[in-house]
Amino acid sequence: MEIYPNIHNIVSENKTGQGITNAYLVTGITGSVLIDTGWKSDEQSERIISYIDQLGCASLKYIIITHRHPPHWGNAEFVKRHNDAAIISTEIEAPYINDYFENYKVDIEIDDNFDIDLGNFQISVMKTPGHTSGTLAVFEKENKYLFPGDTVMGKGTSVINPEDGKIADYLETIENFIKIEPKVIFPGQGDPITKTQEKLTGLIVHRADREQEIINLLKQKESSVEELFAQIYDNLSEWLSHLAKNQITSHLIKLEDEGKVTKDQNMYKLIDF
């Protein structure tokens, strides 16, 4: 459906219970782009193609994949087969995505900003590491619309798994988002965000508070991730517990990189600073 003028959300099915992954179609005068494609399924693939055909918009030029996780690249091959649009991702994410693809590869691997002129929209595709090391975002310059993938969620905060991304990069990306002053954020999951500065600054505060909580606990005694988890969280499902432990680990990696924490086997100790 059209959620803003010339901005359409062809939503994916909720496959995981974590939230609905958005697939945004931006329709311009001289062409259109699709930002993420949803969980791979025949139903979602057909939904995207049918929607684009019925809309009768300008030809689909690009399929932009914000990052390597399955609900973002899932239907890209199907859409490309029907529209022959070029698939865009970053140099870092492309190898992961290509490993999943069966018949195609990422066509354009960006290592810097990549600008797209759609006539009525001027789009910049830019590297925004953090959620993963090669995540990208899309910024529409005239209206100041930001499509950050899962770097910004409609509710809550983004997950940063230690094997995927780094909290230090994420915080720098959020600071850069604050500087460009988006008027509307179209998140990877959830509804559009209009209180953008409040949302973005809140994400930084949340991470700072969690880091300080970990530091305060380490001041009392050296601890493992499991021990820190037991003191910070309670009553989480098995899946959410896994994600929460990953967040603690990612914070500890940041503190270790900054020389504030040392690790001995599975135990973390605070260094005086």
How many angstroms separate the CA atoms of 25 and 42, rounded?
A: 18
Give residue-wise pLDDT tens across range 35-61: 999 989 888 899 899 999 988 887 999
Give residue-wise pLDDT tens across range 83-111: 999 999 999 999 999 999 999 999 999 99
pTM of the model: 0.94
pLDDT of residue 249 exceeding 60: yes
Q: What pLDDT is recorded for position 273?
A: 60
Give residue-wise pLDDT tens across range 255-268: 999 999 999 999 99
Q: Give which of 144, 150, 142, 130 is closest to 181, Cα–Cα.
A: 144
pLDDT of residue 18 exceeding 60: no
Across 26-36, average pLDDT: 96
Q: pLDDT band at 19, cuts 50/70/90?
A: low
Give residue-wise pLDDT tens across range 193-235: 999 999 999 999 999 999 999 999 999 999 999 999 999 999 9
